[in-house]
Amino acid sequence: MKQVYEALQWASSFLKKHGREENVAYIAMGYVMGMDRAQLLAHLRKEISSDEWRSFKNLILKHANGEPIQYLIGYEVFYGRKFLVNPNVLIPRPETEELVYGILERVKKRFNVAYKKEHVEVEESRPYLDCVDIGTGSGAIAITLKLEMPELQVTATDISKGALTVAWDNAKRLGAEIHFVEGDLLTPFIGKKRFDVIVSNPPYIPLTDRKDLSEVVKDHEPASALFGGLDGLELYRKMIRQLPKVMKQQALIGFEIGVGQGNDVANLLKEQFPLADIEVVQDINGKERMVFAFVE
């Protein structure tokens, strides 16, 4: 009979040997044991049953073979909440949490909206802001924005029916009221609806970089959610052309970007909105990760 720490040692060593992240051992063990990381660390001497060992080993072997651990266990944690994921959607990344935080902070500043971390009942007299998340995938951005700032009336769009099913399930499970729309970028709203806040984490990896990606990513996550044309900027160009047709007079725009794309995306926004206040913001690792624009 193995103890938790022995199983973790074996898995970490095995994953390292296969070029995978050792941290996956804790994710897999937490899933099998029904514990978070802190609980695991407090129960390192706990014995695991033969069924638990079999399940754990199976997860580690499959991940070593290239399958994303999040698809194997069926969820990823984003902004402290569990989001269901499957191969129809991109797995939410920690960097995208910074995009959400950046939007929340700028909404407070630009629209003078106060919000609390806990869900609160919003008074009828409080202002509502229309927000859209373009290419919602699992719904992580849209749902988190709604739960963190109930004043936002959130719409989420995706071209993929499969992705929208996942996002709808997540919204229902987490208690977020989101209006979901199937369609290509902002096309469904042209001539029909305008927004105060427009946010997107679009596919931005250049097709030429495909060969450099881990097979965990390129062989399993949806290509339509990864690649943004030859230079990675195709979706930004298209969205930025559409923006004037769907924005209110004052609008906040927030994009997640790939490394080295900050100036390109900022320049695309400047061409469309010469007077906009545009920021290129680095993530916690010091990499360009977000571009924000405030237009009025």
Distance CA 292, CA 277 (A): 8
- pLDDT tens for each residue of 7-58: 999 999 999 999 888 989 999 999 999 988 889 889 999 999 999 999 999 9
Looking at the structure of the chain, the number of domains it has is 2
Q: Are 48 and 192 within one domain?
A: no
Annotated binding site for substrate: 201-204
| Residue 86 domain flag | no
> What residues make up the domain containing 32?
4-65
Please give the helix or strand (H or E) that residue 155 lies within, else none: strand 152-158
- Final residue belonging to a domain, choices 46, 65, 84: 65
Write the DSSP symbol of residue 54: H
User: What's the mean pLDDT when you consider all of the chain?
Assistant: 87
Q: Are 191 and 232 within one domain?
A: yes
Distance CA 215, CA 229 (A): 19
| Residue 19 domain flag | yes
| Residue 87 domain flag | no
Distance CA 196, CA 132 (A): 8
pLDDT of residue 48: 92
Please give the backbone phi and psi of residue 10, each rounded to the nearest 5 degrees, phi first: -60, -50
Q: Are 11 and 149 within one domain?
A: no
Write the DSSP symbol of residue 190: T
Length of the chain measured in residues: 296
> How far from each other are the two terminal CA atoms of the chain, in whole angstroms?
66
Distance CA 142, CA 79 (A): 12
Annotated binding site: 135-139, 158, 201-204
pLDDT of residue 206: 56
CA atoms within 13 A on the CB side of 228: 22
Q: Are 233 and 108 within one domain?
A: yes
Distance CA 198, CA 188 (A): 14
What residue type is assigned to position 47 of the chain? E
Q: Are 163 and 288 within one domain?
A: yes
Q: Are 59 and 115 within one domain?
A: no
pLDDT of residue 125: 45
Which of left, alpha, beta for 237 (phi over 0: left; psi -120 to 50: alpha)? alpha
Distance CA 234, CA 216 (A): 24
Please give the helix or strand (H or E) that residue 53 lies within, else none: helix 50-64
Contact present, 195 and 244 (Cβ < 8 Å): no
| Residue 224 domain flag | yes
- pLDDT tens for each residue of 149-191: 998 999 999 989 999 999 999 999 999 999 999 999 899 999 9
Q: Which residue has the tokens 């970007």?
A: 257
Distance CA 161, CA 167 (A): 10
| Residue (of 50, 65, 52) closest to 15 by Cα position | 65
Annotated binding site for S-adenosyl-L-methionine: 135-139, 158, 201
Distance CA 249, CA 86 (A): 38
pLDDT of residue 114: 54
